[in-house]
């Protein structure tokens, strides 16, 4: 995906995340967020610091326009951006970084993309739930919230990945 198109898509999906936070409250047990996917899909040629700045801006935008606790999404999303390159290196190997390729389901497979999404979602949710609860909720509640949120966020992220970020073309061998 071209960089200009990616950042327009990033902006539109950040607005969509704000709408999801405002109007789609499924349960106290589910924090529905696809922001870690957006950070994970930032083009590889942008390093860690620009990714962290973009993640901070997106997280703070969601905080200001939706959830009420200023800084909560930004707090949870910036470490995802800081760990984006190590996650990519661990899941996809160093070849992707050496070639400067962007993440793609077609090139890297659904299993590897899913693993990277689950890792980034997990980092985000652990920090989000920890900061949101501030030690006032039980471990069982936090664990249940983590698992429900991870499942829902993963399904939503895969849906967004295939509907927006995927470049699957029809096969000429049909």
pLDDT, one tens digit per residue, over 102-152 is 777 778 788 999 999 999 999 999 999 999 887 788 889 999 999 999 999
Q: Could you report the per-residue pLDDT of 8-38, keeping only the tens digit for each? A: 888 999 999 999 888 888 777 888 899 999 9
Rounded distance between C-alpha atoms, residue 170 and residue 167, angstroms: 10
Q: Which of 160, 136, 153 is nearest to 73 (CA)?
A: 153
Q: 48-67: per-residue pLDDT in tens? A: 999 999 999 999 999 999 87
- CA dist 37 and 6 (Å) reads 12
Tokens of 63: 């905080």
Looking at residue 169, its pLDDT comes to: 45
Backbone CA torsion sign across 60, 67, 145, 16: negative
8 A C-beta contact, residue 108 and residue 151: no
Helix (H) or strand (E) holding 86: helix 84-92
Domain locations along the chain: 3-165
What is the reported pTM?
Answer: 0.87
């Amino acid at each position: 995906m071209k960089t200009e198109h990616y950042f327009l898509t990033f902006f539109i999906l950040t607005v969509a995340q704000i709408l999801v936070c405002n109007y789609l409250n499924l349960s106290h047990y589910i924090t529905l967020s696809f922001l870690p996917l957006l950070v994970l899909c930032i083009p590889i040629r942008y390093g860690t610091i620009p990714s962290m700045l973009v993640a901070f801006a997106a997280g703070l935008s969601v905080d200001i326009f939706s959830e009420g606790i200023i800084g909560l999404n930004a707090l949870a999303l910036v470490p995802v951006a800081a760990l984006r390159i190590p996650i990519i290196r661990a899941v996809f190997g160093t070849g992707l970084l050496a070639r400067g390729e962007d993440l793609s389901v077609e090139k890297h497979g659904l299993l590897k993309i899913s693993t990277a999404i689950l890792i980034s979602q997990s980092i985000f949710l652990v920090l989000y739930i920890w900061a949101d609860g501030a030690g006032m909720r039980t471990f069982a509640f936090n664990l249940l919230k983590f698992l429900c949120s991870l499942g829902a966020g993963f399904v939503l992220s895969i849906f967004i990945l295939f509907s927006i970020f995927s470049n699957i073309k029809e096969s000429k061998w049909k």
